[in-house]
Structure 1
Amino acid sequence: MQLAGIRHRPESEDTAVLAAHQLQVRLQTARDDVAQVEILFADSYLWQEGTTALERRIMQPGLATQGNQYWQTTLTVPTNRVVYAFLITDTIGATVGYGEGGFFDDVATNWQTVGNYFHMPYMHVSDAELPPAWVKETVWYQIFPERFANGVRQNDPANVQPWGAGRVHRDSFYGGDLPGITAHLDDLAALGVNGLYLCPIFTSPSNHKYDTIDHFEIDPHFGTKADFQALVDGAHARGMRVMLDAVFNHFGEQSPQWQDVIKNGEQSRFADWFHIHGWPVGRDPKTKRLNYETFATGAAMPKVNTQNPAVQAYLIDVTKYWIEQFGIDAWRFDVADEVDHGFWRALCGALRAIKPDVYLLGESWHSSQSLVGNGQFNAVMNYPLTQPILALFNGQLNPEDYVGKTNLELMMYRQPNQQAMFNALDTHDTPRLLTTLHGQLTKFKSALTLLMLLPGSPCIYYGTEVAMAGGADPDNRRCMNWQPDEQEQQVRQFVTRLIKFRRQQADFLATSQLTWTIDGHCLILTRTDVEQTIQGRFNLGAQAVSTVSGVSPILTAGITANEMAPGGFELTVA
């Protein structure tokens, strides 16, 4: 038995309080090394006084990564207190106990020693911070407001270009605004999305608005607060939630706080709102380096000192304002992994106090267990789960490695949080899906389908539904195509059917068992429970393969005459 492959950490992603008296437990072992895992558990007080006996349950093998196997079960604990340990049997029949003190011999006296058990002193559902139930049922639609639709010409910037004209540059303006989004809410409702994620809408000199000047005001080129309220009300009337984007890692250089620092130097009342290491602020004449911290290396985005109580109070007031005054449903926080955890706990606690079902999402490009739970976010943007899909369909990752990487990411978070992870194949920060897949529409449809079959809350980037192309920023921020040709309209019809399927099966896809099979060059993802089986079969080879006989798929791509072309898929429900 490979003891080095065995791991469990209580009160981490390895345990999840699902409800009162319900604790989900995971154990990691080396792959292909263990035949069975039993968990022994009891209320520690009742067990030690002899009024209850240890219970035993066989754990089920779940997902496997490239090197590890995960085992899982859900315990029902009448008193909300529990101690537990694992009895592990390897493939040749050898056994070992495993608990808080490490490994111990499988003999009766050791199983009677409470110090050998992991402890969950009390299962507080409030501490579990379960994500809002509505999130796992949501299909998001991300909008870059400056490029979605121009609803009011009177608020256009002076240097506005005709819609969609010319090559997109970093300083291009096309006049997209909030009334333009509101005017297209019926189109979005017809598409089937039920969550709108808006990139920043606050006062800013740029087209992207990630260099905020005033967090309490709508950028005048986007409209007014009345326009925003109309958008929120219109979205809510159509069953859509609204998520705003906040940039609290840094301010724009034109913000009044930073301008006061520029003007008054060390005497500025905002001097300690930023990370400043020399005066006057600027570049050191010798090293040519900035003497203040920024987002990345951008001099125009000075980093905010979120450990300052005055800064914390200001930013918390910002987020509360847009919830209390306009009724938004969620916040996405930019560069969340570069902001201190203490601030996030203070902010998230304040928002949950005024809106218990608020969805709080952090931006991170890597696995970020430290940001999820523990008083912080419900979820993060799940790039480590979604980006391997692109590599898979581009032939840069073989199916075996794809499955291992994906399963690893699925085990990074507690199941309730995994259900709320924000899953997107393209965003304003990445090349567009069609371009990444070299214009291959069949693979494009297959990748979207695989995304929709995975746990999490999926997101469509504006224009993806009509197969818009675009390379790296700023090319991925082209104007929305409101006049799709026949092929693009067919893509929209496909995406509409896919979203309808996802929303109809949302509860099932959040909780059903997930298994992978590799059959030649086909990757098969199966989701099952006691009542239903959903299966996606994807051809990742260079040659066509036969379709599954005797089954009528509900969605397909690349299938003709009972053959599935390279990059194609078939989706079945039984």
Structure 2
Amino acid sequence: MQLAGISHRPESEDTAVLADHQLQVRIQTARDDIAQVELLFADSYLWQEGTTDLQRMALAPGLATQSNQYWQATLTVPTNRVVYAFLLTDTAGRTIGYGEGGFFADDPTNWQTVANYFHMPYLHVSDAELPPAWVKDTVWYQIFPERFANGDAHNDPADVQPWGAGTVKRDSFYGGDLAGITEHLDDLAALGVNGLYLCPIFASPSNHKYDTIDHFEIDPHFGTKADFQALVEGAHDRGMRVMLDAVFNHFGEQSPQWQDVIKHGQQSRFADWFHIHGWPVGRDPQTHQLNYETFATGAAMPKVNTQNPAVQAYLIDVTKYWVEQFGIDAWRFDVADEVDHGFWRQLCGALRAVKPDIYLLGESWHSSQALVGNGQFNAVMNYPLTQPILALFNGKLSLSDYVGKTNLELMMYRQPNQQAMFNALDTHDTPRLLTTLHDDLTKFKSALALLMLLPGSPCVYYGTEVAMVGGADPDNRRCMNWHPDDQAQQVREFVTALIKFRRQQADFLAASTLTWSIEDQCLTLTRTDAEQTITGRFNLGTTAVAATTTPASLMAAGVVGGQLTAGGFELTLA
């Protein structure tokens, strides 16, 4: 028995309070080592008093990573108090107990010793911080406002270019605005999305608006607060939620707070709002290094001191304002992993007090258990789950390694949070999907289908539905194509059908079990519950294979003459 492969931590991603009296427990073991895992559990007080017996239940084998097997069970805990320990049996029939004190021999005396058990002193549903139920039913659509649509030429910047003209540069302006988004809400409703994620819309000198000047004002080139109210109301009328993007790691250099620091130096009332290590602020004349902290290495984005109570109060007021005054449904927080956890707990608590079902999302490019739950976010942007899809379809990752890496990420968070993870294959920070997949439309469709089958809340980047291309920033921020050719229109019809499928099956996909199988060059993902089975089969090889004949296909790409071509997929329901 490989003891080093066995791990469980209470009150972590290994335990999830799903509802009152309901606890989900999982444990990891080494792959191909353990044949059976059982859980022995009871109310600690009643068991020690002798008024109740230990209960026993088997854990089901779940997902396997490259090195570990996960086991899982959901307990009903009548008193909301529970102690529990694991009985593990390996493939040779040897047994061992495992609890808070580590491993112990499988004998009656040890099983009667409470110190051998993990403790969950009381199951509080409020502590579970379950994500809003609506998130798992949502398909998001990300909009970079400056490039989506120009609905009001009167607010265009002075140096605006004709829509879509020329090569996109970092300082290009094309006149996209809030009125343009509102004008196209019916197009988005027809596409089927029911969540709008807007990149920052607040006052800023740039086209991307991640260098905020005033968090309480709409950028004048995007419109007015009345324009934003019309957009929110129009979205809500069509059943769409609205998520705004906040940048609280740093301010823009033109913000009044930073300008006051530049003007008044140490005497500025905002001197402690930033991380400043020398005066006057700027570059050291000897080393030429900045004497203040920034986002990345950008001098124009000074980093904010979120441990300052005045900063905390200001930023919390910002987020509450847009919820209370305009009724937005969610916030996405930029560079969330570089901001202190204490501030996030304060902010998230304040927002939940205002709107209990608000969705709070942090930007992170890596596995971020420390940001999810514990008074903080419902979810993070799930790049570690989605980026391997691109490597898989580009032949950079074997099928078995893809499955192992994906399962690892699926086990990083509690199941309710995993259902709320923000899953996207391209965003304003990455090359566009079709470009990443070397203009292969079949693989493009297959990758989107795989995304829609995975746990989480999927997102479509504006223009993906009409097969827009683009390399790294700023090329990935081209103007929306409002006049697609026949091929692009066919892609839109495919994406519309895929979103419709995802939304129709949202409850099933959130609750069903997930299994993988590999047969030669084909990867199969199966989602199953007591009522139905949905199967996605993906040809990751270089030659065609026989397509499935029964059950009938729901959707497919690359099926020709009874063959599933390289890069293609088929989706079936049984």
TM-score by length of 2: 1.00
The amino acid of 1:374's aligned partner reads: N
Q: Once superposed, what is the RMSD of the aligned Cα atoms?
A: 0.3
2-side partners of 1:311 and 1:550: how far apart? 61
2-side partners of 1:216 and 1:198: how far apart? 16
Per-residue deviation, 1:330: 0.1
2-side partners of 1:74 and 1:382: how far apart? 25
1:474 matches 2:470: no
2-side partners of 1:490 and 1:566: how far apart? 20
1:572 matches 2:572: yes
2-side partners of 1:66 and 1:209: how far apart? 41
1:538 matches 2:534: no
1-side partners of 2:335 and 2:368: how far apart? 12
The amino acid of 2:26's aligned partner reads: R
2-side partners of 1:17 and 1:569: how far apart? 36
Aligned residue for 1:352, secondary structure, equals helix
What do the CA deviations read for 1:22-72 (whole angstroms, capped 9, x no partner)?
000000000000000000000000000011100000000000000000000
5 Å-filtered alignment, 1:95-114, equals 95-114=95-114
1:322 matches 2:331: no
Per-residue deviation, 1:550: 2.6
What do the CA deviations read for 1:472-522 (whole angstroms, capped 9, x no partner)?
000000000000000000000000000000000001111100000001100
1-side partners of 2:25 and 2:197: how far apart? 33
Q: 1:72 maps to what in 2?
A: 72
1-side partners of 2:541 and 2:432: how far apart? 23
1-side partners of 2:144 and 2:548: how far apart? 41
Q: 2:2 maps to what in 1?
A: 2
Aligned residues: 574
1:487 matches 2:487: yes
The amino acid of 1:381's aligned partner reads: M
Per-residue deviation, 1:21: 0.2
Percent identity, aligned pairs only, is 84
5 Å-filtered alignment, 1:75-154, equals 75-154=75-154
Aligned residue for 1:489, secondary structure, equals helix
Q: 1:255 maps to what in 2?
A: 255
Q: 2:514 maps to what in 1?
A: 514
1:444 matches 2:444: yes
Per-residue deviation, 1:552: 1.3
The amino acid of 1:570's aligned partner reads: E
Q: 1:426 maps to what in 2?
A: 426
2-side partners of 1:507 and 1:86: how far apart? 31
Aligned residue for 1:554, secondary structure, equals strand
1:367 matches 2:372: no
Q: 2:347 maps to what in 1?
A: 347
The amino acid of 2:55's aligned partner reads: E
Aligned residue for 2:206, secondary structure, equals coil
2-side partners of 1:343 and 1:561: how far apart? 58
What do the CA deviations read for 1:387-421 (whole angstroms, capped 9, x no partner)?
00000000000100000000000000000000000
Show structure 2 runs of 5+ residues with no match: none
2-side partners of 1:337 and 1:557: how far apart? 38
Q: 1:219 maps to what in 2?
A: 219
What do the CA deviations read for 1:442-482 (whole angstroms, capped 9, x no partner)?
00000000000000000000000000000000000000000
What do the CA deviations read for 1:91-133 (whole angstroms, capped 9, x no partner)?
0000000000000000000000000000000000000000000
Aligned residue for 1:465, secondary structure, equals helix
2-side partners of 1:52 and 1:33: how far apart? 33
What do the CA deviations read for 1:255-286 (whole angstroms, capped 9, x no partner)?
00000000000000000000000000000001
2-side partners of 1:152 and 1:106: how far apart? 74
1:311 matches 2:311: yes
Q: 2:553 maps to what in 1?
A: 553
Per-residue deviation, 1:82: 0.2
The amino acid of 2:507's aligned partner reads: D
Q: 1:399 maps to what in 2?
A: 399
Aligned residue for 1:109, secondary structure, equals helix
TM-score by length of 1: 1.00
Q: 1:384 maps to what in 2?
A: 384
The amino acid of 2:339's aligned partner reads: V
Q: 1:283 maps to what in 2?
A: 283
2-side partners of 1:11 and 1:554: how far apart? 40
2-side partners of 1:6 and 1:139: how far apart? 37
Per-residue deviation, 1:548: 1.2
1-side partners of 2:488 and 2:467: how far apart? 6
5 Å-filtered alignment, 1:191-230, equals 191-230=191-230
What do the CA deviations read for 1:159-199 (whole angstroms, capped 9, x no partner)?
00000000000000000000000000000000000000000
2-side partners of 1:255 and 1:549: how far apart? 62
What do the CA deviations read for 1:275-308 (whole angstroms, capped 9, x no partner)?
0000000000011000000000000000000000
Per-residue deviation, 1:240: 0.1
Aligned residue for 1:96, secondary structure, equals strand
1-side partners of 2:371 and 2:58: how far apart? 32
Moved over 6 A (4+): none
The amino acid of 1:57's aligned partner reads: M
Q: 2:295 maps to what in 1?
A: 295
1-side partners of 2:6 and 2:126: how far apart? 30
2-side partners of 1:234 and 1:532: how far apart? 36
Aligned residue for 1:537, secondary structure, equals strand
1-side partners of 2:68 and 2:233: how far apart? 48
Show structure 1 runs of 5+ residues with no match: none
2-side partners of 1:524 and 1:4: how far apart? 31
1-side partners of 2:568 and 2:250: how far apart? 44
What do the CA deviations read for 1:238-259 (whole angstroms, capped 9, x no partner)?
0000000000000000000000
1-side partners of 2:458 and 2:549: how far apart? 30
1-side partners of 2:40 and 2:534: how far apart? 33
Aligned residue for 1:56, secondary structure, equals strand
Q: 2:44 maps to what in 1?
A: 44
Aligned residue for 2:86, secondary structure, equals strand
1-side partners of 2:510 and 2:471: how far apart? 32
The amino acid of 1:402's aligned partner reads: Y
1-side partners of 2:519 and 2:510: how far apart? 25
The amino acid of 2:10's aligned partner reads: P
The amino acid of 2:16's aligned partner reads: A
Q: 2:178 maps to what in 1?
A: 178
Aligned residue for 2:51, secondary structure, equals coil
2-side partners of 1:550 and 1:7: how far apart? 41
Aligned residue for 1:190, secondary structure, equals helix
What do the CA deviations read for 1:325-344 (whole angstroms, capped 9, x no partner)?
00000000000000000000
The amino acid of 2:444's aligned partner reads: F
2-side partners of 1:150 and 1:390: how far apart? 32
The amino acid of 1:304's aligned partner reads: V
2-side partners of 1:398 and 1:481: how far apart? 35
Per-residue deviation, 1:542: 0.5
Aligned residue for 2:92, secondary structure, equals coil
Per-residue deviation, 1:549: 2.2
1-side partners of 2:572 and 2:240: how far apart? 28
Per-residue deviation, 1:345: 0.1
The amino acid of 1:188's aligned partner reads: L
